């Protein structure tokens, strides 16, 4: 049973109501960030090859990749904004709207589902206060989504929180996992 939006199949996660839609855009690639981008571009035979690292730089800096940031990346790498958006929308690792400080992905593919993934999802939704998938908690700390596979089927149910993977997660472990987050 699915609880709603997931990262699979191109489904979009609903943007939180407090999204930063009306704030003026501040460029990412200035000063040290511009230098870092230039150093990254220099490692590749063509500017286009630095697209994924450039997008990571934006996301690490801002927490998500806005349309304005996509346009800035396109300008820096001499690509079209449409090409950059195509890449951002293809990969589920790039957030296209603000998400919680702790982005929680719960694997709900068949092997994990058989091992109780749905109960793990419910526990995260309850413990974080998100209530439903794709919604950011009111304190801005958490966003929970389902994903199709985290590549750890032997350790069901795996959960990825930002860049850290937790294996063999049960509903009972969820409060301890959340309490250990910075």
CATH code for position 60: 1.10.10.1590
The whole-model pTM stands at 0.74
Tell me if 72 sits within 8 A of 29, measured CB to CB.
yes
**Could you write out the three-class secondary structure of the chain?**
CCCCCECHHHCCCCCCCCCCCCCCCCCCCCCHHHHHHHHHHCCCCCHHHHHHHHHHHHHHHHCCCCHHHHHHHHHHHCCCHHHHHHHHHHCCCCCCCCCCCEEEEEECCHHHHHCCHHHHHHHHHHHHCCCCCCCECCCCCEEEEEECCCCCHHHCCCEEECCEEECCCCHHHHHHHHHCCC
5: in domain: no
169: in domain: yes
* 66/125 same-domain check: no
* 76/135 same-domain check: no
Q: Report the domain count for the chain.
A: 2
13: in domain: no
The encoded tokens of residue 34 equal: 């511009």
Question: Which of residues 58, 90, 122 is at a domain's end?
Answer: 90
Which CATH number fits the domain that encloses residue 125? 3.40.30.10
* 107/75 same-domain check: no
* 163/104 same-domain check: yes
Tell me if 122 sits within 8 A of 169, measured CB to CB.
no
Average pLDDT for runs of 10 along the chain of length 182: 40 42 85 97 97 96 95 98 96 90 95 95 97 94 93 92 95 98 93
The encoded tokens of residue 53 equal: 């690292």
154: in domain: yes
Domain that holds residue 127: 99-179
Length of the chain: 182
Tell me if 91 sits within 8 A of 70, measured CB to CB.
no
* 79/138 same-domain check: no
* 112/72 same-domain check: no
The encoded tokens of residue 79 equal: 């690509």
């Amino acid at each position: 049973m699915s609880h709603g939006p997931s990262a699979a199949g191109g489904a979009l996660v609903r943007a939180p109501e407090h999204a930063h839609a009306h704030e003026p855009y501040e460029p990412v690639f200035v000063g040290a960030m511009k230098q870092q981008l230039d150093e990254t571009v220099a490692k590749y035979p063509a500017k286009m090859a630095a697209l994924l690292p450039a997008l990571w730089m934006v996301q690490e800096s801002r927490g998500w990749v806005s349309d304005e940031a996509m346009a800035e990346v396109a300008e820096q790498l001499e690509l079209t904004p449409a090409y950059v958006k195509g890449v951002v929308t293809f990969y589920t690792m790039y957030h296209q709207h603000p998400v919680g400080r702790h982005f929680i992905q719960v694997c709900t593919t068949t092997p994990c589902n058989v091992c109780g993934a749905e109960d793990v999802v419910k526990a995260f939704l309850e413990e974080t206060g998100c209530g439903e998938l794709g919604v950011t908690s009111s304190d801005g700390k958490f966003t929970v989504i389902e994903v199709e596979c985290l590549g750890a089927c032997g350790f069901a149910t795996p959960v990825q929180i930002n860049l850290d993977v937790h294996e063999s997660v049960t509903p009972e472990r969820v409060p301890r996992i959340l309490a250990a987050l910075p």
